[in-house]
Amino acid sequence: MEIVYHIGAHCTDDDALLKSLVKNRRPLAGEGIALPGPPKYRRVLSEAVTDMMQGKEMRHSRDSLLEEILPMPDAHRVAMSNRNFFCVPNRIFEGGSFYHLADAKLQALGEIFAEDDIEIMLAIRDPAAFIPAAFAQSSGTSFESFMSGVDPDLVSWTDLIDRILDAIPGVKLTVWCDEDSPFIWPHVLRAMAGVGPGVRIVGGYDLVGDILTPEGIEKLKVYFRKNPPKTEAHRIKVLGAFLERFARPEMMIEEYDNPGISEDMLADFSESYDEDVAEIAARDDIDFLRPETA
User: What value does the mean pLDDT take over residues 2-27?
Assistant: 95
Q: Give pLDDT, residue 259.
A: 66
SS3 123: strand
Would you say 168 and 120 are in contact if contact means Cβ atoms under 8 Å apart?
Answer: yes
* Orientation angle between helical segments 157-167 and 102-112, nearest 10 degrees: 30
Alpha helices in 72-180 (DSSP H): 102-112, 127-137, 143-147, 157-167
Q: What is the arithmetic mean of pLDDT over 146-167? A: 94
pTM confidence score:
0.94
pLDDT in tens, 172-215: 999 999 999 999 999 999 999 999 988 999 999 999 999 999 99
Alpha-carbon separation of residue 12 from 25, 164, 178, 229 (angstroms): 22, 18, 6, 27
Express as a percent the part of the chain with pLDDT over 70: 96
2-203+259-289 belongs to CATH 3.40.50: yes
pLDDT given for residue 294 in this prediction: 41
Q: What is the pLDDT of residues 69-118, one digit of tens each?
A: 998 889 999 999 999 999 999 999 999 999 999 999 999 999 999 999 99
Condensed to tens digits (0 to 9), the pLDDT of residues 215-266 reads 999 999 999 999 999 899 999 999 999 999 999 987 766 666 666 678 888 8
Of 122, 165, 150, 153, the C-alpha closest to 273 is 153
Residue 289 and residue 175 in contact, taking contact as beta carbons nearer than 8 Å: yes
Around Cβ 103, how many Cβ atoms within 10 Å? 17
Mean pLDDT, the chain, rounded, equals 92
